Every structure is written in structure tokens, then in C-alpha cells.
Amino acid sequence: MKVKKAVITSAGNATRMRPISNIIPKGLLPIFKTYEGKKFPIPMIDLIIDSLSGAGVSQLCFVLGSRGRLLMDYLFENNITFVFQKESLGFGDAVLKAEEFCSGDPFFVHTNDDMLTGGYREGAAVFDELGADCLLFLSRVENPKLWGIVEVEDFKDMHSHKVFRIKSIEEKPESPKSDLAVSGIYIFSGSAIFGRLKEIRTDKELQLTDGIQKLVQGGAKVYGMLLGEERWLSVGNPESYFSTLNYSYNKL
């Protein structure tokens, strides 16, 4: 089934980008885009929406936190659904807020502070052709202890990308099983992930990776597509934002 919906989360505390993130949601931070030879500062969220639209997405849901009003005002005329996470209880909890919007249909999950320079259309095609329950967009990282990390086994090449079967996934592991990190972009088949997230009882923040691990343990078809020439860009912390600004000024 084609993926027509996307859930974009913008409800976290964004502590690593304070104090600016106390005022501006990370999705509204500008990066550069070149049009007709001229460079323009463009909010990150505009490029995310363009990328998702190019992959066939036509319905968007934003999960907003206490500082989401500015983002809501910016996007209000775009026929977008808005839901709210009143307390910052984790990425998994934020995704749960969009269950009614998804209504059993396949959907992207996308953070508002990460984006890829390509691969969305290919990922959607891989997901559809495999009849997957979940597809993760993967990238190799230098310090895997900082990310959600997967353990994989080789599967096959599809649409010029290496595709893995996911054996396990862990958020910020003490002993990483690989250097393959989830880039903040996912595709899910429907309601299964919501059921798995609801099963988790925790005193800590509810992590989406824990729900995905339950999918894996239950025998779901969970795959990862490794980014090739595409670049994972982030505005999630000062270092990654500086790198993204440099890259976007010279390459986008």
C-alpha cells in the first residue's frame, strides 16, 4: 500500500538548542536552499514537507508541545492536522498522539529537526514492495552510543540501496551492536506500532525504539534501508546545526 500520511513530531524539550529553542521550534530554524543561482534561508520544516510530498505524502499531522504555537501559526493554512503532547513523555508517546490521524493506514514518522537530502521515494518503494511492517532509514555514525542503533542481517539490494532485516534495536546503547543508526525517519504499516507502544510500562520516557523492538520480537517484518549518497542533516544540537548550515549553503 502506498504511503500517503506522515506524522511529524515537534514536542520535545530541545534542551541541546537552548536558549533559541525556548522561542523557536527547531523545525523553523533556517538552513539554505539555492534557487536560480541565489541562496535563500528556508525553514527546515519546508524542506521536510517538500521531501515527503515528493515521496507521495499528501496528509500531514504535527505533534506539538507547549511551544508549538509558532509552528502551528506558520503552517496553519496548509490543511494540516495538529495534535498535542501536553507533557514531554518521550518520542514514543508523541507518536501515540497521532493514532487517530493514522487510522490504520501506513505512515511516515519524521522528526522536525532531521532531514535527508534524498531517499524518501526509494524508501517508500522498498516498504511497499516488501509489504513491510516497519522500515527504518539508516546511516553509519561515528559514535553509536548517542543514537538508536540496530543489529542487522543482510537481506538484499533494492532501488540502489542496501536493505537489511532488523534483528534488534536499542536506544543509546552502552554496548552498541553496530554503527548503524536510525536517522529519525521511519515508515510503519498501520496500527501495530501503536499496540506495541501501549504494552510498554515504564517510569521513564516512552521511546519509539522500544515499540519497534517489540515488533521485532513479535515476528514483524522490520527492515532498514541504508542511506547511500544521501546526507542526513540535523539541527538538533549546535554542532550538527553548524554542519548542516555549511552543507546546505554549499550543496542544496
Dihedral of CA 18/234/225/193: which sign? positive
Dihedral of CA 96/90/196/223: which sign? positive
- Set of cell numbers at residue 84: 498535542
Burial class from Cβ neighbours inside 10 Å (0-12, 13-18, 19+) for residue 84 reads: middle
Cα(179)–Cα(142) distance, rounded to whole angstroms? Answer: 7
Q: What's the residue count for the chain?
A: 252
Residue 107's domain spans which residues?
A: 5-251
- φ/ψ of 183, rounded to 5, equals -85, 5
| Residues 6 or more apart in contact with residue 171 via CB below 8 angstroms | 148, 207, 209, 210
CATH number of the CATH domain containing 186: 3.90.550.10
Q: What pTM value is reported for the model?
A: 0.92
**Number of structural domains found in the chain:** 1
Residue 181 has pLDDT above 80, yes or no: yes
Residue 197 has pLDDT above 70, yes or no: yes
Q: Give the model's confidence band at 14: pLDDT under 50 very low, under 70 low, under 90 confident, else very high.
A: low
Residue 15 has pLDDT above 90, yes or no: no
Residue 119 and residue 187 in contact, taking contact as beta carbons nearer than 8 Å: no
DSSP tag of 19: T
- The dihedral over CA atoms of 80, 67, 13, 64, expressed in degrees to the nearest 10, equals -20
DSSP tag of 28: G
- φ/ψ of 51, rounded to 5, equals -65, -45
Cα(58)–Cα(78) distance, rounded to whole angstroms? Answer: 11
| Residues 6 or more apart in contact with residue 135 via CB below 8 angstroms | 123, 126, 127, 186, 187, 222, 223, 224, 225
Model pLDDT for residues 98-125, shown as the tens digit of each residue: 999 999 999 999 999 899 999 999 999 9
Q: Give the model's confidence band at 16: pLDDT under 50 very low, under 70 low, under 90 confident, else very high.
A: low
Residue 136 and residue 223 in contact, taking contact as beta carbons nearer than 8 Å: yes
39 vs 76, which has greater pLDDT?
39
